[in-house]
Amino acid sequence: MKKSIIFLAFFGIAIVFAQKFTTLAEYKASIKSNKSEAKKAIKPYLYDGYKTTYFNYKTFKQTKEVEIYLFNNTEYKLAFNTKSCSKGIKINIYNTEKSASNRILLKTIENSSENLVVSTKELNEVLEVKKSKATRLKRVFVSYEIPSNSSANNTKPLIEDRAAIVLVMGYKN
C-alpha cells in the first residue's frame, strides 16, 4: 500500500513537471516561429539581426527600451512580431534615449497580430519634418509599453504571464 502511494505521488509530480516543460517548450517554439515570420516580412532587405525582448506581465504598467544602431547611411527595415503577447503592446520609436530632453517621437505603433514593418527612410523623413537641421538617424530607440494585468503574479509569474516581442532588422543592399 505504501509503495503504491509513493508511486502515485511520484507519477503525479512527474506529470506536472512534464506539462510545465511542454508548455515552456511550446512557448520557445512559438518565439522561434515568430522570428521566422518577421524575417520574411523584411524581404527583399538582407537579414542583419534580431532582438527578442522577454517580459512577464505584472499588475502594473511596464516600459522596456531597446537601442538599435544604424550604420553607414544604409536604409533598414524593422519588423516587429508581437504574436506572443496576449495583451496589446504599444511600440514607440524615438531618436534619442529616455533621459534626453530633446527626445522626438518618430512613430507609434499600436499592437496587432500581424508583423509590423517600419523603414528607417520614413523615420528619417519624420525627423526632418519635426527637427530643423536634422541629420540622418544613427540610432533609434524602441520603447515597448506593456500594459498591466490584474491577475498576474508579480513574485512567481506563471507561463501564461510570459510574453516576448521579436524585432528583426534588415538592410537594403
Which tens digit of pLDDT belongs to each residue from 88-124? 899 999 999 999 998 999 999 986 667 899 999 999 9
Q: What is the mean pLDDT of residues 42-67?
A: 94
- Using CA atoms, how far residue 76 sits from 47, 73, 112, in Å, is 10, 9, 21
What value, to the nearest 5°, has the Cα angle with vertex 96 and ends 92 and 98? 70
Class of domain 2-171: mainly beta
State which H helix or E strand residue 124 sits in. helix 120-130
Question: Are residues 92 and 105 in contact, defined by beta-carbon separation less than 8 angstroms?
Answer: yes
Give the N- to C-terminal CA distance of the chain in Å, as an integer.
72
Place of cell 506581465: 57
Domain boundaries of the chain, sorted by first residue: 2-171
Which tens digit of pLDDT belongs to each residue from 125-168? 999 998 878 788 999 999 999 999 888 888 888 888 888 999 99
pLDDT at 24: 77
pTM: 0.82
